Homo-oligomer: A and B are copies of this chain.
Amino acid sequence: MRGLLVGRFQPFHLGHLAVVRAIRATRPDDPLILGVGSAQASYSGPNPFTAGERIEMIEAALDEADLGEVLAIPIPDIDRHALWAAHVESLVPRFERVYTNNPLTRVLFERAGYTVVAPELVERSRFEGVRVRQRLAADDGWRDLVPPAVGRVLVRLRAPERLALLRDTRDPGSSVGGA
């Protein structure tokens, strides 16, 4: 029975890895799909990395952790929430079980007939996306928050520099005056 875990993974951090590990431990034989949400977004404050970069981080981290095969699939946003479940269904292989702590995601998938499970979160306050991004932007203390393999990808992408820049910036359409 395939499971689906949706997140933005900006970036893929130790909290995410703990959730994947817990799902794996509970259901070792079920294939797991990671839906990479807001896949169209990148180079913005809350979404600094492209979907491709995030999939690269996920592949590297799961390989390093020897957590078996996981299918990472980009899911672009759809501005019509009522179509969300059908949208995801059309982009990923058949799944039966959804893992989420987002109550809206829960409702939308329950309406569509899925079993929804809330994964236990490990040290939520520490491993929170926004906190990891703040640490990256300050280039301070972020290495303890991500798997080593993700750290290497982030260094190669010069992530601290990118995050610092995005913290204070506006859309690329408005460039004369700048930040």
A interface residues, Cβ below 8 angstroms from B: 5-9, 15-16, 19, 37-44, 50-53, 55-56, 59, 69, 71-77, 79-87, 89-94, 99-105, 107-108, 118-119, 121, 124, 128-129, 162, 165-166, 168-179
Q: Which residues of B contact A121 (CB under 8 A)?
A: 177
Which B residue sits closest to A168, measured CB to CB?
B103
Closest to A69 in B: B69
Contacts A6-B174, A41-B79, A51-B91 supplied; 16 other A-B pairs, CB < 8 Å: A5-B176, A9-B176, A19-B176, A40-B79, A42-B82, A50-B90, A51-B92, A59-B71, A74-B74, A75-B173, A77-B173, A100-B175, A102-B175, A102-B179, A121-B177, A129-B174
Q: Oligomeric state, in number of copies? A: 6
Among A7, A104, A175, residue most surrounded by chain B Cβ atoms (within 10 Å): A175
Residues of B close to A37: CB separation below 8 A = 171-175
Contact between A52 and B173, CB atoms less than 8 A apart: no
A91 and B173 contacting across the interface, CB-CB below 8 Å: no
